[in-house]
Chains A and B, each alone.
Chain A
């Protein structure tokens, strides 16, 4: 069983700073592995322990993105592939085509795992686009995956319903965080992971189609809350009474 798992080296929104003009400071912003991707890595590892085989983690970005690969390797992935020179962006089509090219270059995979969306942009588009680019089946929002006889039986968690579907392998599957509990890599495992192989592929080698019309980011601004931020003082009874008065004025009490 060959399993590919995609991880994103995403800006850590909790550490994001605001620069001049209310723009977020993205240059040099702290990044970490997109938290939901750990579920995908965990699922890949569970598949490997059940079926045997190899888990290869893929990411794209700068040298710094090695950190996210290392996280996947520390959790237990066998090796990593880093596409350098490319950047995961809001141009999800391009991102997906880049990953697809790298995955293809590494040979045939039985399963490609992704998370449902990234912690920074949460578009949820790369996984299905990746399947399109690879020409494989795709199942999204999996909360349970069973592999058997060249088929993947998947339970999909949707807004109002649960679906059970069957897809032929090779297949791209995106998982929801309910699927598992990602393991915590110990410090020793992190140190051991630095000895695991990471292959760098320059984006230029992949000849990725730039697409008919790229998605461009025109600007960004940090949301300033327009909340009133009134702190109601007093003991519990006083505060409660004052609050009810205010809410009546707001017209939100029935």
Chain B
């Protein structure tokens, strides 16, 4: 068996993205890409080749997932293990790297391989700087979600590995869906995002209706969710909130602090409305309108309505 590039994520969706990355890397280095799944084969994962690790159960805690992966890796010797940089994924990757004694690259995009060296790009300093990092193989890598497209290459090759009995010291007492958060901003095609320029909570419906007119959802910068509590935390776009990349991002009354830009900079087209012509958001926008949002937002809405 040739050396493999493994891809693992607890999220099926992220797993499909990882498979793109794994395939790309495998092709470059003459290796094969394998989707590693714990417990059972998941329908939502599209892959040509899979390795199902038995023993971990469905949806294990990261501690157990890490041990399952570690045991599988000790037995099968992959060259690289890609893990989705989700909250659980970061823990799994860190633990696997520590247990195997492998180096770990994090939050990677644009992977490449050069002989025995693995190279990746990643952003640092709140997205302001791109760093190129490298390490020797074998290695663990966490891949930034939403960077790679979902792989569509499917196949039937399935392998199994029995990890034996797996237990952890952390006990799961309960698990529930996160409260509120009706809309998943990560999937929205258009986002209207509100910032401190919005004076009162009562003004948010005005932006919500603009978002609906655009066929999208309402998000916000950190102060509105964390400080003011006007919107749920799920709406907070930024470094510590959700990272989004809609086709259209309309920043209303957002000054454009780096923390925020880091969460929306991959949007296709960015529009900013702000009274301060020097607001940094304009540097991160395609189209800017320097004016009072209370005048411009209704005008945009009217223009959109008349377009229909």
A residues engaging B (CB < 8 A)?
11, 13-14, 16, 24, 36, 90-93, 96, 116, 119-129, 132-133, 137-141, 153, 156-168, 176-178, 211-223, 225, 227-232, 236-237, 239-241, 243-244, 246-247, 250, 252-254
Are B287 and A214 interface neighbours, CB within 8 A?
no
| Cα of A31 to Cα of B146 in the assembled complex, Å | 30
CB neighbours (8 Å) of A212 from chain B are: 101-103, 136
Are A218 and B132 interface neighbours, CB within 8 A?
yes
Q: B88, B129, B286: which contacts A227 (Cβ < 8 A)?
A: B286
B104: Cβ under 8 A from any A Cβ: yes
Report the stretch among B25-33, B39-47, B50-58, B166-174 that lies at the interface.
Answer: B166-174
B282: Cβ under 8 A from any A Cβ: yes
**Contact A16 to B179, CB < 8 A, known contacts A178-B226, A254-B215:** no
State the Cβ distance, B64 to closest chain A Cβ, in Å.
12
| Cα of A111 to Cα of B45 in the assembled complex, Å | 38
Are B135 and A214 interface neighbours, CB within 8 A?
yes
CB under 8 Å from chain A, chain B span 255-270: 257-258, 265, 268-270
A-B contact pairs, 14 of them (CB 8 A): A93-B97, A93-B103, A119-B126, A119-B239, A124-B91, A125-B90, A160-B178, A163-B175, A167-B169, A223-B128, A237-B299, A247-B271, A253-B307, A254-B214
Are A227 and B136 interface neighbours, CB within 8 A?
no
Are A16 and B129 interface neighbours, CB within 8 A?
yes
CB neighbours (8 Å) of A166 from chain B are: 170-171, 173
Query: 9 closest A-B pairs (Cβ-Cβ)?
Result: A213-B136, A132-B98, A240-B299, A13-B125, A123-B106, A128-B94, A236-B299, A236-B295, A124-B90
Are A223 and B129 interface neighbours, CB within 8 A?
yes
State the Cβ distance, B286 to closest chain A Cβ, in Å.
4
Are B128 and A236 interface neighbours, CB within 8 A?
no
CB under 8 Å from chain A, chain B span 169-210: 169-179, 189-190
Q: Mark B245-279, 1 if CB is under 8 A from A, else 0.
A: 00110000000011000000100111100000100
B123: Cβ under 8 A from any A Cβ: yes
CB neighbours (8 Å) of B215 from chain A are: 254
Q: B62, B128, B226, B265: which contacts A140 (Cβ < 8 A)?
A: B62
| Cα of A219 to Cα of B119 in the assembled complex, Å | 11
State the Cβ distance, B222 to closest chain A Cβ, in Å.
9
| Cα of A14 to Cα of B271 in the assembled complex, Å | 23
| Cα of A128 to Cα of B215 in the assembled complex, Å | 40
| Cα of A11 to Cα of B125 in the assembled complex, Å | 8
Q: B62, B103, B270, B296: which contacts A214 (Cβ < 8 A)?
A: B103
Are B91 and A138 interface neighbours, CB within 8 A?
yes
B228: Cβ under 8 A from any A Cβ: no
Smallest CB-CB separation from B242: which chain A residue?
A: A159
Are B285 and A227 interface neighbours, CB within 8 A?
yes
Are A215 and B135 interface neighbours, CB within 8 A?
yes
CB neighbours (8 Å) of B283 from chain A are: 225, 227, 229
| Cα of A157 to Cα of B303 in the assembled complex, Å | 41
**Contact A121 to B124, CB < 8 A, known contacts A166-B171, A252-B269:** yes
Are A161 and B178 interface neighbours, CB within 8 A?
yes
**Contact A252 to B247, CB < 8 A, known contacts A90-B131, A221-B129:** yes
Are B287 and A216 interface neighbours, CB within 8 A?
no
Kindly list 15 other residue pairs between chains A and B, CB separation below 8 angstroms, not including A93-B98, A166-B173, A247-B248.
A24-B129, A90-B106, A124-B91, A128-B91, A129-B98, A158-B178, A163-B175, A164-B175, A213-B103, A215-B135, A218-B132, A231-B289, A237-B299, A240-B299, A247-B269
